[in-house]
Amino acid sequence: MLKLADPPEPDFITTVEELDSLYDDPQDGAIRKQTDHIVGPGRAIIASSPFILFATASDNGVDCSPKGDAPGFVQVLDDRTILIPDRPGNNRLDGLRNIIANPKVGIIFIVPGVNITYRINGTAKISTAPDLLDRFLVRNKRPRSVIVVSVEEAYPHCPKAFVRSDLWASGSKPAPDGVPNSGTFVAYREGRDQAFAEEYEADYQSRLKDRLY
């Protein structure tokens, strides 16, 4: 019987030298745009952003969480410090646990309809200082905590990913058929049918309005 040869090993890159040989050197502007503080245009993006991606990592794992609220919900305390309210979520606290173990964080600020983003890398602490909590009152409710981020790197990010994905034009269209929602995931987890998924989703959307803050 003919025996097929073992499949070849994938061509993985395992050294920085191999990586550098594959890509061109970054342009001068891509290097010089990075600063150790928030610049004026960056401050404007933060003030206009209703949505961020917040990344953390530790020996316990890696986490990238969406956070959002009204535009400007992240406050600039000064050119090297930003404040992020931690609103109610699922209480897994993956990102916050990571911060305690490893304070390094990465943040991307996104503004709907705008292809450029603003990135901040730095170190974070979790605060429950009353004066900080009071800065973020919504519906007379405080966040449970405020994440205080000391800026180490800040820069605008290339818009090519948004251009390639045509994200904002795609987002103005109805959701594609077959895209799952929360009810779909719960039904799958519990081994339930589509009727259960639809009932759960309708109830969840109703409850969600009262649990944002």
Give me the pLDDT at residue 8, please: 62
pLDDT top residue among 10 and 100:
100
Give me the pLDDT at residue 11, please: 84
For residue 2, is pLDDT > 60?
no
Please state whether the predicted TM-score (pTM) of the whole model is above 0.85. Answer: yes
3-class secondary-structure state, position 150? strand
Give me the pLDDT at residue 171, please: 84
pLDDT digits 0-9 by tens, 51-73: 999 999 999 899 999 999 999 99
Could you tell me the strand order of the sheet in which 61-68 lies?
61-68, 51-58, 104-110, 117-127, 145-157, 81-86, 75-78
Q: How confident is the model at residue 7 (pLDDT cuts 50, 70, 90)?
A: low
Give me the pLDDT at residue 210, please: 86
pLDDT digits 0-9 by tens, 145-188: 999 999 999 999 999 999 999 999 988 888 888 899 999 999 99
Residue 166: CA count within 13 A, CB half-sphere: 4
For residue 192, is pLDDT > 80?
yes
CA–CA gap between residue 144 and residue 95 (Å, rounded): 14
Give me the pLDDT at residue 3, please: 62
